[in-house]
Amino acid sequence: EAQVTQNPRYLITVTGKKLTVTCSQNMNHEYMSWYRQDPGLGLRQIYYSMNVEVTDKGDVPEGYKVSRKEKRNFPLILESPSPNQTSLYFCASRGLNGNNQPQHFGDGTRLSIL
């Protein structure tokens, strides 16, 4: 089954404790992306990656890091989480052939930073 898998689904942690949210896709997609979703602000892109070892900032990259060492994986790293990073996070992927390739989303990760 084609899917995007995120882990963990839920996490409550404390300020300053480094955490990583993993994202894996089995569709051989080149493009992967991280979003956060907050009430009233919609989905905002944090980082994206066009392919292995190619990453770039989205609209709200501050406080986040990513890496793309393998095509299937695109982890999101919060080196020193702060309460304003409490949010619902989505990883997404898509192929790059053709004009109308939609994005496929993971189930989401709800982070609470205390």
Partner 1 sequence: RKEVEQDPGPFNVPEGATVAFNCTYSNSASQSFFWYRQDCRKEPKLLMSVYSSGNEDGRFTAQLNRASQYISLLIRDSKLSDSATYLCAVRPMLNAGGTSYGKLTFGQGTILTVHP
How many Å apart are CA 94 and CA 105, to the nearest integer? 9
> Is residue 97 near partner 1 by the rule CB under 8 A?
yes
73 with 9: CB under 8 angstroms? no
**Contact residue for partner 1 among 1, 42, 62, 69 (CB under 8 A):** 42
Residues 47-86 that bind partner 1 (CB under 8 A): 48, 50, 58
Residue showing tokens 């930073």? 113
Taking CB under 8 A as the rule, does residue 98 contact partner 1? yes
Q: Please identify which residue in 33, 85, 87, 93 interacts with partner 1, judged by CB under 8 A.
A: 33
Residue 112 C-alpha from the chain's centroid: 16
Residue 11, interface with partner 1 (CB under 8 A)? no
Burial class of 21 by CB neighbour count within 10 A (0 to 12, 13 to 18, 19+): buried
Q: Which residues bind partner 1 (CB under 8 A)?
A: 31, 33, 40-43, 45, 48, 50, 58, 88, 90, 96-108, 110
